[in-house]
Amino acid sequence: MNDESQKDKLRQHFARRVTTQARVVLDTWQKIHEDTGQSAAFRSDFARAADKLVRYARRFEMAGHAESGQKVFDLISQWPEGISLPEGLDRQLQDAIEQLSRCTLRRTDQTATEAPQQYRRTPVYIALSSEEMASRLIRQLEFFGFRASAFHTADKLIEACALHKPETILMDVNYGGEPLSGIATIERLQERHDTPIPIIFMSDEDGTIETRLRASRCGGEEFFFPAVDPGQLIEKIETYTHGNTVEPYKVLVLDDSRAQAKFMETVLKKAGMTAHIITDPMQIIHALEDFSPEIIILDMYMPGCTGMEIARVIRQQDRFHSVPIIYLSAEEDVSKQLHAMSLGGDDFLTKPIDPKHLIATIHNRGRRARSLLALMIRDSLTGLFNHTHTLHLLDQEIVKCRQKNQSLCFAMIDIDYFKKVNDTFGHPIGDRVLRSLSMFLKQRLRKTDHIGRYGGEEFAIILPDTRESDARNVLNEIRERFSELLQPAGDREFNVTFSCGVAAWNGDSSQALCERADRALYRSKEQGRNCVTAASE
């Protein structure tokens, strides 16, 4: 063996060591994401694995791995020990992990179905008997910001899941050619994961209760029989992805005992919730205004007033009328507990507090409160904010802009020739176009932006801390991409475009800002539609 081949062999050996260490980092991140409530327990292992990766990669001159690993390690250093992974840091780490994952993929893994770099989500895996259907779905999913990969054998799918656990899998019941072989593959796959992967099953031939039960038992969240079009599938895939990760509950705790309050704060933060603690009942109004809690925990007996009196004061404010209030007390008299709840409370926990009982109670109450709030402020078809709440959010953002001297933009969007879509393809397809645009906007805009359905085929977007030129560029890019998206209608496909008007806030009222955006939208319509016009033009 000559010197050159010996060096090449050594390089391959070192590359394998770096790649193996990179996969340790990826696997640890997967464990953190599988149970974010227990993420604090993995922080030290995660940091050690990333540090080791950086040292290996630098020693063996693998710049891509070294750069990605250093980025991961720097972000971990911002994660305080002993608490669950903070949400903002979660998103930044996900981006860094995606970058590392791309470095670590084997050459044979890098197929043409890999999505471009801007797709930051963990992958969606597709296992369908029809390659044409799989390719079509991948193209559609990429428009919505998903990274999708198709697999032609069960072994390849299982191997890919071991490397990088997907957000969801779309599985043909008979994938592999044999009856129910797709379900058998998922049964094998789920045995290898501590938490099951959400599965969306499809079947053209078998919709029996026996098949549905077997599919459900191995993680099947949806079962489509007969198979449906890509539009409906993408809506379901979006439901089971981390893009819909639940925001942490905002919990306000009022307890005059500093030690008890600190204990509550620790318990809530370990559970991944955002806690705000006060020990003086007289600070309750300021805390409500500054923190806007979703759940309130009150000590029953405090110097100067009782928790029941505080609850009555809170309930006098309309915007906190439906916020769940949980009492804490050593009181064990059931009749007194019931009396306390009749005065504005929703639940009663007896001291000493069992942390598991507390967290379960907050999750139950919080989930119900959010569901009720969503019914009041969201559009039932698209899930976006309704007209009234969109204007309320605009007023709030204008107040913030005045306080912080920041920029703000308001945009109005109208789908072009929407009546023609309804007349040609029917209202169900028209509804799907509305949902398609709403999902497209949610994927492409920031979490700090507010998107509302203004009415009919009109949408409104609030873009805080954004200049008019930037807002116009962003929305124009979204317009161009959306116009390329194929809308399915049975065995036909068609394209839809939209027109948009953007206006920057210049110190005027929300009503005046809306009118200027509306006039800009009207000019877009006059100019031939399918364009974005800024009010200043």
CA distance 277 to 290: 12
Strands 124-127 and 168-172: parallel
Q: Are 329 and 358 in contact (CB under 8 A)?
A: no
Model confidence at 127, pLDDT cuts 50, 70, 90, reads very high
Cα within 13 Å of Cα(147), Cβ side: 21
Model confidence at 53, pLDDT cuts 50, 70, 90, reads confident
Give the pLDDT score at 119: 37
pLDDT digits (tens, 9 = 90+) for 349-362: 887 888 888 888 88
> Rounded mean pLDDT of 521-532?
94
Give the pLDDT score at 117: 34
Q: Are 273 and 253 in contact (CB under 8 A)?
A: no
Q: At what angle do helices 209-217 and 181-190 cross, to 10 degrees?
A: 20
Q: What share of the chain is helix, strand, coil (3-state, %, to 5)?
A: 55, 15, 30
Q: Is the pLDDT of residue 261 over 60?
A: yes
Pairwise pLDDT comparison (241 vs 508), residue with the higher score: 508
If one looks up domain 124-244 in CATH, what number appears? 3.40.50.2300
| Helices marked H in 240-354 | 258-270, 284-291, 307-315, 334-342
Pairwise pLDDT comparison (194 vs 227), residue with the higher score: 194
Residue 324 Rama label (left phi>0; alpha psi -120 to 50; beta):
beta
Instruction: For residue 395, give both structure tokens.
Output: 């007023």
Domain ranges of the chain: 3-104, 124-244, 250-376, 387-534
pLDDT digits (tens, 9 = 90+) for 446-474: 888 999 999 899 999 999 999 999 999 99
Give the pLDDT score at 342: 67
Give the pLDDT score at 514: 95
For 253, the enclosing helix (H) or strand (E) is: strand 250-254
Give the pLDDT score at 114: 34
Q: Is the pLDDT of residue 35 over 70?
A: no
Mean pLDDT, the chain, rounded, equals 84
Model confidence at 111, pLDDT cuts 50, 70, 90, reads very low
Q: Which fold has domain 3-104?
A: Four Helix Bundle (Hemerythrin (Met), subunit A) (1.20.120)
Pairwise pLDDT comparison (388 vs 489), residue with the higher score: 388
> Rounded mean pLDDT of 288-312?
88
> Rounded mean pLDDT of 219-232?
80
Q: Is the pLDDT of residue 159 over 80?
A: yes
> Rounded mean pLDDT of 226-252?
73
First to last CA, the chain: 71
Task: Give the pTM.
Answer: 0.61
- What's domain 387-534's superfamily in CATH? Reverse transcriptase/Diguanylate cyclase domain (3.30.70.270)
Say what percent of the chain tops pLDDT 70.
Answer: 88
Give the pLDDT score at 184: 94
Q: Are 72 and 25 in contact (CB under 8 A)?
A: yes
CA distance 239 to 477: 25
Q: What would you report as the CA-atom Rg of the chain, rounded to the nearest whole angstrom? A: 27
Model confidence at 211, pLDDT cuts 50, 70, 90, reads very high
Give the pLDDT score at 506: 92
Selecting from 3.40.50.300, 1.20.120.420, 3.30.1180.20, 3.40.50.2300, what CATH number does the domain 250-376 have? 3.40.50.2300
Residue given tokens 């905002």 in the structure block: 250
CA distance 445 to 435: 15
Pairwise pLDDT comparison (489 vs 504), residue with the higher score: 504
| Helices marked H in 84-229 | 87-104, 131-143, 154-163, 181-190, 209-217
> Rounded mean pLDDT of 252-268?
89
Q: Is the pLDDT of residue 107 over 50?
A: no
Give the pLDDT score at 148: 86
pLDDT digits (tens, 9 = 90+) for 361-378: 888 888 888 888 888 888
124-244 matches 3-104 in CATH topology: no
pLDDT digits (tens, 9 = 90+) for 325-338: 998 877 666 676 67
